[in-house]
Amino acid sequence: MKNIADLRKEYTKGALEPNLLGDTPLPVFSSWFSQALESEVLEVNAMILSSVNALGRPSSRVVLLKDITENGIIFYTNYQSRKGLELESNPFVSVVFYWAELERQVRMEGQVRKVSEADSDAYFYSRPRISQAGAVVSNQSRVIPDRQALDDKMDTLMTDTSIKIQRPNHWGGYEIVVDRVEFWQGRPGRVHDRALYEKEDGAWIKSRLSP
Ligand SMILES: Cc1cc2nc3c(=O)[nH]c(=O)nc-3n(C[C@H](O)[C@H](O)[C@H](O)COP(=O)(O)O)c2cc1C
């Protein structure tokens, strides 16, 4: 196996001039997201979400971005999962996207709030039946003895289509209301470009960070 310490890549695909970016971060994020989509980045909407439990211990996992709003971004999950319980006691989160194909990273921080029941319904019922069934059968993050019980419940819901699948009350969306967003563009020699937006007293302040 190649020595891991010898893995090396120069970043040459772009540059970032904070002064040329807009005054607020979410339109910039939308535009970067569109460019990532056009560049066929694999699982472009996959983001690493970190939460922190009541003892201050962080945990991270991948979730899927499902919308960009005026104030932040939305993802869907089980409110009783490990992350759901952590967010109940501590709403602060951080998120990171890494789009290797574009040599770009976006970091966001903020606080979550649950989206409306109507919005959770709208998204839940837009999903294919198999995904709706998956949300119903999974007590996400709980220990289970084996796979069989899940498969049996899935089989029932998938074969008997007369059963109307309802969105569980404990499944829905969170909006991350962002107050810190950083755009990173890889540059040669590790002298990368970083543009930071921080919300202070309701106004966005933009700055350039040293790599
Ligand atoms: C590509 C990818 C996408 C995922 N999308 C979601 C998602 O949108 N929502 C979700 O709850 N879990 C999603 N997961 C599963 C989570 O990473 C995680 O396993 C699950 O939410 C349980 O996390 P928790 O125990 O920390 O609550 C995804 C995993 C991967 C690898």
Q: What is the CATH number of the domain that holds 19?
A: 2.30.110.10
User: Is the CB of residue 43 below 6 angstroms from any atom belonging to ligand 1?
Assistant: yes
**Model confidence pLDDT, tens digit, residues 49-91:** 999 999 999 999 999 999 999 999 999 999 999 999 999 999 9
**2 within domain boundaries:** no
* Mutation to probe ligand 1, out of 51, 52, 59, 62 (largest number of atoms < 8 A from CB): 62
Q: Which two tokens stand for residue 75?
A: 């993802």
Strands (E), 67-210: 67-68, 72-78, 92-99, 104-114, 171-185, 193-200, 203-208
Q: Using CA positions, which residue lies closest to atom 4 of ligand 1?
A: 63
**Model confidence pLDDT, tens digit, residues 86-131:** 999 999 999 999 999 999 999 999 999 999 999 999 999 999 999 9
Q: Which residues are designated catalytic?
A: 190
Q: Residue length, the chain?
A: 211
**153 within domain boundaries:** no
**Model confidence pLDDT, tens digit, residues 151-161:** 999 999 999 99
Average pLDDT score, the chain: 97
CA–CA separation, 133 and 131 (whole Å) = 5
The domain containing residue 46 runs over which residues?
Answer: 9-126+169-208
**38 within domain boundaries:** yes
Name residues whose C-beta falls within 8 Å of residue 166's C-beta, 6 or more positions apart in sequence.
Answer: 136
Quick one: which atom of ligand 1 is closest to the CA of 59?
26
**158 within domain boundaries:** no
pLDDT value at residue 1:
87
**143 within domain boundaries:** no
The total of structural domains in the chain comes to 1
User: Is the CB of residue 96 below 6 angstroms from any atom belonging to ligand 1?
Assistant: no
CA of 49 to the centre of ligand 1 (A): 9
Residue 118 burial (10 A CB sphere; 0-12, 13-18, 19+): exposed
User: Is the CB of residue 42 below 6 angstroms from any atom belonging to ligand 1?
Assistant: no
**185 within domain boundaries:** yes
Q: Give the 3-state secondary structure of residue 16.
A: coil
